[in-house]
Amino acid sequence: MLAAAQGGSEVAFSRLWRDGNPALLRYLRVIAPEAAEDVAAETWLQVVRRLAGFHGDEQGWRAWLFTTARRRAVDEARRRSRRPEKPLEETLPGQWPVSPDAADLALQNIGARSAMALVAQLPAHQAEVILLRVVAGLDTQTVARLVGRSPGAVRVAAHRGLRRMAAILTEAGVTL
């Protein structure tokens, strides 16, 4: 699929996009909640520009995609911190719930939105690491390189985050 997209196949690229964009947005909505869509669109633009020169397997592709997204998100955060005033539309609450309440979690299955709301409760670095592991499907080593921490620190953050998620669920009385 990757090679076909690099060769110019629109169908193949569409598959890559459909596979990658939901995961990208789930990640960005937690690490860059005010600009997730912008950053995702910019990420794809940049990826498209460099796609022809990319070498790597599927894991490498995903690592590249999320690395690009993370750097874009960092740029965006930097830009916003220099210009604190925000257009009104960007200060309106997004469609993404910031905190899960019992109603969010009391679903037949915990769907993507409730699960995301749950992760958004975690400290930022724990949330990021869990999303990169679970949603992006990256292994510990790759995540460690991506976030600039040691693999051990990544593992600890992920485990703490999961334990906290379990505690929140238990507090909310969710049993399945």
Residues in region 78-97 near another protein by CB under 8 A: 78-79, 87, 95
147 makes contact with another protein (CB under 8 A): yes
Minimum CB separation of residue 52 from another protein in Å reads 6
Chosen residue from 91, 98, 101, 106 binding another protein by CB under 8 A: 106
Is 40 near another protein (CB under 8 A)?
A: yes
| 150 binding another protein? (CB under 8 A) | no
Give CA–CA dist 131/122, Å, rounded: 11
Examine residue 151 and tell whether it contacts another protein (CB under 8 A).
Answer: no
User: Contact 39/73 with Cβ under 8 angstroms?
Assistant: yes
Largest CA distance in the chain: 51
Residues 27 and 86: beta-carbon distance below 8 Å: no
Residue 31 near another protein by CB under 8 A? no
Instruction: Report the residue from 31, 32, 130, 157 that binds another protein according to the rule CB under 8 A.
Output: 130
Q: Which long-range contacts (CB under 8 A, 24 or more apart) does 113-118 make?
A: 116/26, 116/29, 116/30, 118/165, 118/168, 118/169
The residue from 33, 58, 123, 152 that contacts another protein (CB under 8 A) is 58
145 binds another protein (CB under 8 A): yes
CB of 1 to another protein, least distance (A): 10
Buried b (16+ CB within 10 A) or exposed e, 157-173: bbebbbebbeebbeebe
- Min dist CB 57 to another protein, Å, is 5
What span, in angstroms and rounded, lies between the C-alpha atoms of 30 and 94?
A: 12
The answer to whether 40 and 24 are in contact (CB under 8 A) is: yes
Q: For the CB of residue 153, give the shortest distance to another protein in the complex, in Å.
A: 14
Q: Binding of another protein at residue 176 (CB under 8 A)?
A: yes
- Residue from 101, 102, 124, 150 touching another protein (CB under 8 A): that is 102
